[in-house]
Amino acid sequence: MRKKTKQNIVEEGMSIDDFINNDKVKELYQSDSISDFISLKEQQSSEILSYFLDVRESHGLGNNFISHLLKCIQETPFIKKLPNNELFKDSSVWTEYSVEKRKTKDKSSKNKGRIDIVCLDLTNKICLVLENKYGSKEHNKQCNTYYSALKKMCGEKIQFIYVYLDFEKPKISNQEYFLLTYEKLFNIDFEELLPEPKPSEINRWAKDLYDAFKKDFTNNYNKNYEETIEYLSRKYGNYLEKKYFNKDFNNSLKTKKGILNNYLKEPNRDFIIYYDYQWLIDEVINFKNKQAKVYTIKEKQAFKDFINDMNGKFKNRFKGIELGDFNFSDGDYESGVLTFSYNKLSINDKWFFYGEIAKNKDKYIFRYHYDCLKNKDLEKFLFNNKNKRSQSVQIDISDASPDGINELLKNENFSTFETELTKLINRVRKNEKIKKLIFK
């Protein structure tokens, strides 16, 4: 007979009420602002931003919100010369402005698109171009398309300020854009933005909208959110998966109608609880089966130090070659794998050389990986005409215990990756064709 573990014993005495009455679950589930009732997407968030950027609107801030935005990007040389509080007093705000890079028969979206927000200073002939990424990412090099289209159309008649607003500061296709985070833009309360002298009455609706929007993006990018999901996954993951992700139960939970139909036929409280908490239960189970595999590694200081060290080590090592930033892939992490490389070692935003840490049962695997990305020239360069698509070289296997993780993260394990990277770059430097392909 299989010996019961302490975790097995705890799960046997667990109920679904233990989960829904957990303080962290209550905090995530219970509503306390209008943003909890509506699902803001990129377009809706752009409409809210344009409301606060519009000096003619009812919020009572005048041009103070856009002045605050300009202060957030004060370190850019162009902005330093401008008197922020005097700009955009006479202005007009547009959303979803269509542009086209060049006339073409190609009907794809590569050469055209819609700019999220355009704000015009009619007195000083300045145009603020704001690309808003509210939980999404740049696609088809759209920033480069917008920049090229406006430059071709306007020439020197208008001065442009390009801003890319996101939860983080990602790599994008055009370096003329200033990267601004929501956290920095909304690091000020509504009352602080009111003009002097402060009005005796403020627009409560505008304040509530501002606060609700601030709360919504904070929840979307809450640095503690992942810690909470990890805790719930560790504490309740096995129990929830056994209860709701079994064949008999899960077949009845395909749709909202199916859940209610089953309850009305056979009143079972578990059906309704799952519906009420479905998003959170699914999030916990998904984390348990994917991110949890490498979460401990990602949060280890040794791994963070490795990422920081690599950002410094190779910055100026190779004359004439700029590797860009070194980081791990959020997308791969969500699938349960940690991959990491320099952003320039890619074609069409896919790395052709990267390191990888993955979990296989009770072991961690650390390896470096080559991928020709279906590019014939790159395939020939990487694999010397051996008709290979990819190649992985395993460096080390460690057990999943704390000691095993520390063993995996020892500097000598990563040194093999660094050595291989150095060899690769030195080969690239001697091959002009590949050099142009990668660093064009």
User: Could you tell me the two tokens for 405?
Assistant: 């993780």
Query: Rounded to whole angstroms, how far apart are CA atoms 367 and 425?
Result: 18
Q: Where are the beta strands (DSSP E) in 177-314?
A: 178-181
pLDDT digits (tens, 9 = 90+) for 284-332: 999 999 999 999 999 998 898 888 888 888 766 777 788 888 888 878 8
User: Could you tell me the two tokens for 394?
Assistant: 């395993």
Query: Tokens 């079994």 map to which residue?
Result: 246
pLDDT at position 9 over 50: no
Q: In this structure, are residues 395 and 407 in contact, taking their beta carbons and an 8 Å threshold?
A: no
Query: Rounded to whole angstroms, how far apart are CA atoms 47 and 52?
Result: 9
User: Could you tell me the two tokens for 392?
Assistant: 């992985």
Could you tell me the pLDDT band of residue 240, with boundaries at 50, 70 and 90? very high
CA-CA-CA-CA torsion for 38, 120, 114, 142, nearest 10 degrees? -110
Could you tell me the pLDDT band of residue 59, with boundaries at 50, 70 and 90? very high
Identify the H or E element spanning 132.
strand 126-132
Can you say whether residue 439 is alpha, beta or left, with left for phi > 0 and alpha for psi between -120 and 50 degrees? Answer: alpha
User: Mapping DSSP to helix (H, G, I), strand (E, B) and coil, where does residue 54 land?
Assistant: coil
Could you tell me the pLDDT band of residue 347, with boundaries at 50, 70 and 90? confident
Query: Does the reported pTM lie above 0.85?
Result: no
CA-CA-CA-CA torsion for 347, 349, 351, 352, nearest 10 degrees? -20
Rounded mean pLDDT of 5-26?
Answer: 77
